[in-house]
């Protein structure tokens, strides 16, 4: 979905939901039409690619072919931008961003936008009788991530390029990204995702830069001529890591970086002896085993999969990436002791934490540095970002598995641990009890390596992703380590790239912002604050509301197509879109929906504002409670949408297969953003930022970056409810809170009773028993305790929605005041405080 369609929507709808004083009189910036020459040039380039790269003619080309041809033509332009770049071939310092996930989404509008060729491409394709929106829609999402963590990595890559910070992203080129979600009778079914089925026009395969990654085997000792002992890892098995590079283009094509994703291949494609002996399957068994490493993304976003394959994936991409950057450094600078001056390696969560012993191994065993020099290099090059404090999500690996798969690394981890504990006890800084807390080995559940502790010790800086989360890191999981080095933990609140989440996802709003405050807003999101001056302006409000209305109509079409549910674009669109997880509390939202349904039935003559509840999100396949939450949302939708008594007042939709592309369709259409996690459990959130930027008002708890959003948009322009993190702790200290809260809330009790009596599962009252048992029993996520205040906040939303002037004022102020959540700001902070790398020219 791209510009003109949506702008057409804007024109169609006219002013809505704002009073009719028209005072906004800024003359529209003259639209500069693309030059005829540029259009012809791009058109011919696309035709060329279609013929010579794809072997197709315009007569037989499908949208997917036009997409590939357009992508290849644009990729040439990116290469041109690369070649024309003023940046030195050997920059003084590079950033290496290691992440097991990059949730990229589609790249076409990103590339067109940053090349400044969106209008040119539309015109060029139009000359060929082809619609750009259809072409863009034919691009598969690159879904190489589960949710927020992977999307953050993708936003960071775009911002690094836009800031002209020399950087490589390193990750895994999964054949199959996050599963495609089907909803059948309310039940989630996962089917494999196949983004590479028709090739990937954005990437360059680089077989010449491949390297080998070992597994298993043993550690041999050799005596050097000088009498010293050197340890040599002799892996039992090696796997080829083949890089595939995607160019990452910065805003206005000023700078190009590379996202290098590793594909696993067998060293030998086939065992010829076995094949010729007739064992055709056995002959490729080795190959299947090797290639399994980059086959699929683990569909778990907050619990470590306890699978050997997962550890193999982590080591595979970490080792290949470190080998790659070490090789580059040696070629460019010679001496590895200068690595910290020229490289900063960021570990996105603990998935690449094995980098600590792997870098030590490369430096000591392979390149002959002393242990002390190598430790200095390692701890001045690595930095680590923590993304969660949920105990079940803190990654640990059994020592036994590590010893078998990575024997040399286990030795190095033991040595690091020994030196760490020795130095503490020598300086009298710990007693026996606290030694256990700071040890790299957790002895309480069998021996396991604590990957967070390992990353912490190996890093020069460790960061949290919002102010609250960073503070909780210091107070809880990392408290004992923090006490030993109080400068190490720093905060870097997450951000989002405005090119994708404002310019490309919401061109109508972007155009309005440009008209109101000038084109510099495209380069400097800080200029958005100029919109505040128009917040009360009826004419501007009408324009702003019309943009929203156009997007709501467009979303209604998508929802109708995918679910058959008809949405009224005039209703309040209340959205909760994110992974399904108990701590994110979609269930709280559903309980409120049920209570609202009952309230409307009980008082049909009250002026309930029309509301549409939109849910989207995937559940990890083995996470039964999360899947049951999806089922409940779907079942509630079924009954509510069929009940004429609430028709026109309440509609519920669960939109299947949440993805970056779906997020781009929903976010500009949202009026209300649900950010209702149990306080203390959402590290930051970034969906909250995307929605606030696009002018949805937040209903949320004092959790993660919600707190900072509240500080920026102001208390009057956000709906806060519920316990804060300290309140959650205090409540949890007094068991029995759920029973007390339910007893005190007839409304909550009635909603629970309706579900328990089969109100949404006729003939099967026990369908939702596991959810109800959790909520009425331990209620670990404190739904019952927060329910009444959530209900109150939702009714405050109703009241605010009935006053359009105030509503749009608040919405405009959300857009005006969320510039700080640009990932450009986040990346500048990392550059200054963590990486100590210069932001490039023009940035």
For the annotated catalytic residues, the residue numbers are 387, 578-579, 584, 686, 690
What is d(CA 482, CA 487) in angstroms, rounded to the nearest whole number?
8
In the complex, least distance from residue 103 CB atom to ligand PLP, rounded to whole angstroms: 6
First and final C-alpha spacing in the chain: 29
What CA–CA distances, in Å, run from 583 to 44, 299, 639?
52, 18, 26
Please, which residue, 522 or 663, has the CB nearer to ligand PLP? 663
Please, which residue, 169 or 685, has the CB nearer to ligand PLP? 685
* Beta bridge partner(s), residue 697: 672
Nearest 5°: the CA angle 262, 165, 261 is 5
* Beta bridge partner(s), residue 176: 296
Task: Tally Cβ neighbours within 10 Å of residue 700.
Answer: 28
In the complex, least distance from residue 499 CB atom to ligand PLP, rounded to whole angstroms: 14
Please, which residue, 686 or 776, has the CB nearer to ligand PLP? 686
What CA–CA distances, in Å, run from 810 to 409, 806, 819?
54, 6, 15
What is d(CA 504, CA 143) in angstroms, rounded to the nearest whole number?
18
Kindly report the length of the chain: 843
In the complex, least distance from residue 497 CB atom to ligand PLP, rounded to whole angstroms: 11
In the complex, least distance from residue 704 CB atom to ligand PLP, rounded to whole angstroms: 8
In the complex, least distance from residue 299 CB atom to ligand PLP, rounded to whole angstroms: 13
What CA–CA distances, in Å, run from 764 to 528, 587, 761?
52, 19, 5
What is d(CA 789, CA 720) in angstroms, rounded to the nearest whole number?
9
- Position with the least CB separation from ligand PLP: 687
Please, which residue, 534 or 721, has the CB nearer to ligand PLP? 721
**Six token digits for residue 22:** 């028209």
In the complex, least distance from residue 136 CB atom to ligand PLP, rounded to whole angstroms: 17
What is d(CA 596, CA 610) in angstroms, rounded to the nearest whole number?
12
Q: Cα 477 to the chain's mean position, in Å? A: 23
In the complex, least distance from residue 637 CB atom to ligand PLP, rounded to whole angstroms: 21
In the complex, least distance from residue 102 CB atom to ligand PLP, rounded to whole angstroms: 12
**Six token digits for residue 459:** 């890093």
**Six token digits for residue 573:** 């669109």
Give me the phi and psi of 584, to 5 degrees please. -80, -15
**Six token digits for residue 506:** 């919401």
Please, which residue, 148 or 452, has the CB nearer to ligand PLP? 148
Please, which residue, 659 or 776, has the CB nearer to ligand PLP? 659
- Contact criterion met (CB below 8 Å) for 175 and 264: no
Please, which residue, 343 or 665, has the CB nearer to ligand PLP? 665
Alpha helices in 85-147 (DSSP H): 108-115, 118-127, 132-137
Can you state the angle between helices 63-84 and 118-127, rounded to 10 degrees? 140
Please, which residue, 255 or 690, has the CB nearer to ligand PLP? 690
3-state helix, strand, coil in the chain (%, to 5): 55, 15, 30
Please, which residue, 534 or 820, has the CB nearer to ligand PLP? 820
What is d(CA 811, CA 798) in angstroms, rounded to the nearest whole number?
15
In the complex, least distance from residue 787 CB atom to ligand PLP, rounded to whole angstroms: 21
What is d(CA 651, CA 637) in angstroms, rounded to the nearest whole number?
7
Give me the phi and psi of 674, to 5 degrees please. -90, 115
Beta-carbon contacts of residue 199 (< 8 Å; ≥ 6 apart): 68
Reference 152, options 555, 575, 466; nearest CA is 466
In the complex, least distance from residue 195 CB atom to ligand PLP, rounded to whole angstroms: 14
**Residue 53 gets which letter from DSSP?**
I
What is d(CA 253, CA 79) in angstroms, rounded to the nearest whole number?
10
Place of tokens 């749009």: 808
Q: What is the DSSP string of 734-802?
A: STTHHHHHHHH-HHHHHHHHHHHTTTTSTT-GGGGHHHHHHHHTT-TT-HHHHHHHHHHHHHHHHHHHT
**Six token digits for residue 217:** 């085997």
In the complex, least distance from residue 151 CB atom to ligand PLP, rounded to whole angstroms: 4
What is d(CA 589, CA 655) in angstroms, rounded to the nearest whole number?
15
Reference 178, options 501, 580, 619; nearest CA is 619
- Contact criterion met (CB below 8 Å) for 686 and 451: no
Task: Tally Cβ neighbours within 10 Å of residue 427.
Answer: 9
What is d(CA 679, CA 695) in angstroms, rounded to the nearest whole number?
23
Please, which residue, 152 or 521, has the CB nearer to ligand PLP? 152
In the complex, least distance from residue 121 CB atom to ligand PLP, rounded to whole angstroms: 24
* Beta bridge partner(s), residue 219: 233
In the complex, least distance from residue 178 CB atom to ligand PLP, rounded to whole angstroms: 9
Task: Tally Cβ neighbours within 10 Å of residue 736.
Answer: 7
Please, which residue, 324 or 574, has the CB nearer to ligand PLP? 574
Residues contributing to the site for ligand PLP (CB under 6 A): 103, 147-148, 151, 578-579, 659-660, 663, 685-687, 690
Please, which residue, 166 or 617, has the CB nearer to ligand PLP? 617
Please, which residue, 651 or 706, has the CB nearer to ligand PLP? 706
Lateral strand order in the sheet of 441-442: 396-398, 448-450, 441-442
């Amino acid at each position: 979905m791209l510009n003109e369609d949506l702008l057409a929507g804007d024109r169609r709808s006219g002013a809505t939901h704002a009073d009719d004083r028209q005072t906004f009189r800024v003359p529209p910036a003259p639209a500069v039409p693309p030059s005829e020459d540029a259009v012809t040039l791009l058109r011919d380039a696309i035709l060329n690619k279609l013929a010579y790269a794809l072997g197709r003619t315009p007569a037989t080309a499908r949208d997917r072919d036009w997409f590939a041809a357009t992508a290849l033509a644009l990729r040439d332009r990116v290469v041109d931008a690369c070649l024309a770049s003023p940046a030195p071939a050997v920059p003084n310092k590079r950033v290496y961003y290691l992440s097991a996930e990059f949730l990229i989404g589609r790249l076409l509008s990103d590339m067109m936008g940053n090349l400044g060729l969106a209008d040119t491409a539309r015109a060029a394709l139009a000359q060929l009788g082809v619609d750009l929106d259809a072409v863009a829609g034919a691009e598969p999402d690159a879904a190489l991530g589960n949710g927020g963590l992977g999307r953050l990595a993708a936003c960071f890559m775009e911002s690094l390029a836009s800031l002209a910070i020399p950087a490589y992203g390193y990750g895994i080129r999964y054949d199959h990204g996050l599963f495609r979600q089907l909803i059948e009778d309310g039940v989630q079914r996962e089917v494999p995702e196949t983004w590479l089925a028709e090739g990937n026009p954005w990437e360059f395969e680089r077989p010449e830069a491949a390297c080998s990654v070992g597994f298993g085997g043993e550690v041999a000792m050799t005596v050097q001529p000088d009498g010293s002992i050197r340890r040599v890892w002799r892996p039992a098995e090696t796997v080829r890591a083949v890089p595939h590079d995607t160019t990452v283009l910065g805003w206005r094509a000023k700078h190009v970086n590379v996202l290098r994703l590793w594909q696993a291949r067998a060293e030998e494609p086939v065992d010829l002896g076995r094949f010729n002996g007739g064992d055709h399957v056995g002959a490729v068994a080795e190959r299947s085993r090797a290639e399994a490493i980059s086959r699929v993304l683990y569909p778990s976003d907050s619990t470590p999969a306890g699978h050997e394959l997962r550890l193999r994936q982590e080591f595979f991409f970490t080792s290949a990436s470190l080998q790659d950057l070490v090789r580059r450094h040696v070629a460019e600078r010679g001496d590895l002791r200068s690595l910290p001056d020229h490289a900063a390696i960021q570990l996105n969560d603990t998935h690449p934490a094995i980098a600590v012993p792997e870098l030590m191994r490369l430096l000591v065993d392979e390149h002959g540095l002393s242990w002390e020099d190598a430790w200095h290099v390692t701890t001045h090059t690595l930095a680590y970002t923590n993304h969660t404090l949920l105990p079940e999500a803190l990654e640990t690996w059994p020592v036994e598995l590590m010893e078998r798969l990575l024997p040399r690394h286990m030795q190095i981890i033991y040595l690091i641990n020994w030196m760490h504990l020795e130095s503490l006890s020598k300086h009298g800084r710990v007693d026996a009890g606290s030694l256990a807390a700071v040890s790299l080995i957790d002895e309480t559940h069998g021996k396991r390596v604590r990957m967070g502790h390992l990353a912490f010790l190996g890093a020069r800086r460790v960061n949290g992703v919002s102010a609250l989360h960073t503070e909780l890191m210091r107070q809880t999981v990392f408290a004992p380590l923090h006490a030993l080095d109080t400068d190490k933990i720093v905060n870097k609140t997450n951000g989002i790239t405005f090119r994708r989440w404002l310019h490309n996802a919401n061109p109508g709003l972007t155009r309005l912002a440009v008209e109101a405050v000038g084109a510099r807003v495209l380069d400097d999101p800080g200029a958005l604050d100029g919109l505040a001056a128009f917040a009360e302006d009826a004419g501007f409000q009408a324009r702003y509301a019309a943009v929203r209305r156009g997007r709501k109509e467009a979303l209604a079409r998508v929802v109708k197509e995918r679910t058959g549910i008809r949405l009224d674009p005039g209703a309040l669109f209340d959205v909760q879109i994110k992974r399904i997880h108990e701590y994110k509390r979609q269930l709280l939202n559903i309980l409120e929906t049920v209570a609202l349904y009952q309230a409307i039935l009980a008082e049909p003559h009250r002026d309930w504002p029309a509301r549409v509840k939109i849910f989207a999100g995937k559940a990890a396949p083995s996470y039964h409670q999360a899947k049951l939450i999806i089922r409940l949302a779907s079942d509630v939708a079924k009954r509510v949408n069929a009940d004429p008594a609430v028709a026109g007042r309440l509609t519920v939709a669960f939109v299947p297969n949440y993805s970056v592309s779906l997020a781009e369709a929903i976010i500009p259409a949202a009026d209300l953003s649900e950010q209702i996690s149990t306080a203390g459990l959402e590290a930051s959130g970034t969906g909250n930022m995307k929605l606030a930027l696009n002018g949805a008002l937040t209903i949320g708890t004092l959790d993660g970056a919600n707190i900072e959003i509240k500080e920026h948009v102001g208390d009057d322009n956000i709906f806060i409810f519920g316990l804060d993190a300290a309140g959650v702790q205090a409540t949890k200290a007094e068991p029995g809170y759920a029973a007390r809260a339910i007893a005190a809330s007839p409304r909550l009790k009635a909603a629970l009773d309706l579900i328990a009596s089969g109100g949404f599962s006729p003939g099967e009252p026990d369908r939702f028993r596991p959810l109800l048992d959790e909520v009425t029993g331990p209620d670990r996520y404190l739904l019952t305790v927060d329910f009444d205040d959530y209900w109150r906040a939702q009714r405050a939303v109703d009241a605010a929605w009935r006053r359009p002037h105030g509503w749009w004022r608040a919405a405009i102020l959300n857009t005006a005041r969320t510039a700080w959540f640009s990932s450009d700001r986040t990346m500048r902070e990392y550059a200054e405080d963590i990486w100590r790398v210069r932001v490039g020219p023009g940035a």
